[in-house]
């Protein structure tokens, strides 16, 4: 993401809870800027609101305890040693992977609030970057899997069309040769 600057805008609001208290809830909005002429100023590229939220609640004594949620905002290469990086943003309940152009590519529901920044490593040893989530209840791994691409599907459909065309032509040619001719002799 060397050609763009990514700025996160964190908005925190106090929300009235059902039990009569106030709860602080933070929302993540990501904005992309590119450098202006000669590196001066900035040109706005895109802005995306995400579903990434978190709330760090103080205990009754006013101190933060073990329930601290650690949000993540960092670059994510989809493959090992890949030059093109996506954007990984994670909060209390979900993580999103965004393209450098600002499109949300994937949303991941988290099994628990993260206590550390999400770790991006290839632990399945397949060349694709996987995610490691550390929560107070355990460590979770999210494995990126390969999907059959559009090229394979297009080639398969193309072969099917060619086979259907060959069958149609051979049946059409055989039907004109094999038609019984009406006999001129009455029975």
Q: Using a CB cutoff of 8 Å and minimum separation of 24, what contacts does 136-139 make? A: 136/66, 136/67, 136/112, 137/111, 137/112, 138/112
**Assigned domain for 161 exists:** no
**Assigned domain for 116 exists:** yes
Sequential pLDDT tens for the chain (187 residues): 445 556 666 666 666 656 656 666 777 777 777 777 666 777 777 788 788 887 765 444 444 455 677 888 888 998 888 888 898 988 889 999 988 888 889 999 999 999 999 999 999 988 889 999 999 899 999 998 877 666 777 888 889 999 999 998 888 887 765 556 666 666 5
**Assigned domain for 173 exists:** no
**Assigned domain for 61 exists:** yes
pLDDT of residue 2: 45
**Assigned domain for 112 exists:** yes
Q: Where are the beta strands (DSSP E) in the chain?
A: 5-16, 22-35, 42-54, 72-77, 85-90, 94-98, 104-109, 119-121, 130-134, 139-142
Please give the backbone phi and psi of residue 169, each rounded to the nearest 5 degrees, phi first: -65, -45
pLDDT of residue 59: 45
**Assigned domain for 177 exists:** no
Domain that holds residue 88: 5-142
**Assigned domain for 37 exists:** yes
Number of domains in the chain: 1
């Amino acid at each position: 993401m060397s050609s763009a600057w990514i700025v996160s805008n964190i908005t925190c609001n106090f929300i009235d809870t059902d039990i009569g208290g106030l709860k602080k809830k933070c929302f993540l909005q990501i904005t992309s800027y590119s450098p202006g002429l000669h590196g001066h100023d900035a040109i706005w590229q895109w802005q995306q609101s995400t579903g990434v939220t978190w709330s760090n609640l103080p205990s009754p004594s006013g101190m933060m305890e073990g329930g601290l949620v650690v949000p993540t905002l960092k670059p994510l290469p989809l493959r090992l040693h890949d030059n093109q990086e996506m954007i990984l943003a994670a909060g209390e309940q979900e993580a999103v992977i965004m393209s450098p152009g600002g499109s949300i590519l994937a949303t991941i529901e988290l099994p628990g609030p993260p206590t550390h920044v999400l770790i991006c490593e290839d632990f399945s040893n397949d060349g694709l970057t996987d995610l490691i989530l550390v929560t107070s209840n355990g460590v979770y791994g999210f494995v990126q899997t390969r999907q059959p691409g559009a090229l394979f599907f297009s080639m398969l459909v193309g072969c099917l069309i060619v086979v259907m065309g060959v069958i149609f032509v051979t049946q059409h040619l055989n039907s004109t040769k094999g038609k019984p001719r009406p006999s001129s002799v009455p029975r």
